[in-house]
Chains A and B, each alone.
Chain A
Amino acid sequence: MVMLIRFLLKQYLVFMNNNFHKGRGFTFIEIMIALGVISLVMPVMFSIFFVVARQQSKVFILQEVKRNGDNALNVIQTLSRQYGRTLHSDTPATQANSICVEDDSTYSDDIYIKDAHGDTFHFLISDSKIASLSARVATGTTETVFLTTDKVSISNFSLLCEKQTPFDPPILTISFTSSQRNPDARPDESASLNYQTKIKLKN
């Protein structure tokens, strides 16, 4: 390799010496040929780079969409399964507004989930992101945490509860679609994944 570079360098110096001392430049034809070759090679190079870059951005977007969706589903699932005791249609949670207590009943509007301490939490869509709202009864404070980032938009978000038999606790169905936020993405590039799961509350 070193030999080769040295050889090329020597050739170049000899070439330069020979040419410059005689005051000879490139001819018109030589420049035209060089330009022709460059104009053939450059577009090919750029198109290859473009294809690689597009593919990589596609994978990146898909990763982002999946990571956000996975995270949101995981948090909702864990919170509801771990802490959810009863379901309510409004806050503060009372006996009167509790839902999915009768057999064969379903409810799919805003669902507030009450935990063992009487505090409620609830999930909603805000600016195409999933927000988790938790309200503390003791201090009267509410806290909002976004479960997804600005890079993805969540659509078709739904929480549905159903109760079948008197002995079984209610089942909560969570479903949403996580997709890329950029609205002017080309259809073949826009990534979108569906999420759905069911969890059974603890009695």
Chain B
Amino acid sequence: MLESKKNGLTLIEVLIMVTFLSVLFISITTVTTVSLRTSKVNEHKIIATHLSEELREWLRGEKEQDWETFISTRMGTWCFTTEPIEWDEASECVYDLKNLYKREAVLSLNVDETQVTTLITTSWNENGNAYSVPIKTVFSIYE
């Protein structure tokens, strides 16, 4: 009886060990989950940046193709959620692109009609947070 009492661990010792281990495990799990989530967001950010840049290059092409049509019919807010990209007069912009992203462009012409200021925004929602990649660029009649 005395011997077995000597050999075992007391309740308080077991509790301390269990607490220590659980704190350790919980912190490891948290770190892993957070890094995994950040990594996923980064992946989506890379794609979103590419989508914004893709639209910028496409708009540049449209501008090079025909400046007159570009400035007379294309000013205002546009939504580009189709692939391949096309001018689409959707009334409402939705998170449709690759089932995740929303890509919008706001084009505005300056007073002397030589420059178009363009703000391209690709946005998406993830883990209850809203993310966006905005790109601002200026198209000039002569570059």
Contacts and interface: CB of A to CB of B under 8 A. Distances in A.
B138 to A, nearest CB: 16
B125 interface: no
B64 A171 contact: yes
Interface in A167-203: 171, 173, 193-200
A73 B56 CA distance: 13
Contact of B54 (A7, A52, A173, A194): A194
A142 interface: no
Contact of B47 (A48, A62, A196, A197): A62
B58 interface: yes
Contacts, number: 62
A198 B65 CA distance: 8
B64 A198 contact: yes
Interface residues of A, number: 30
Q: Interface SS of chain A: helix, strand, loop or mixed?
A: helix
B89 interface: no
A171 B46 contact: no
Nearest to B47: A62
Given A55-B40, A59-B43, A62-B43, A200 B32 contact: no
B60 interface: yes
B42 interface: yes
Interface of A: 4, 7-8, 11, 18-19, 48, 51-52, 55-56, 58-59, 62-63, 66, 70, 73, 81, 164, 171, 173, 193-200
Interface of B: 6-7, 9, 13, 16-17, 20, 32, 35-36, 39-40, 42-43, 46-47, 49-50, 53-54, 57-58, 60-61, 64-66, 143
Closest 5 CB pairs of A and B: A198-B61, A197-B57, A200-B64, A55-B39, A59-B43
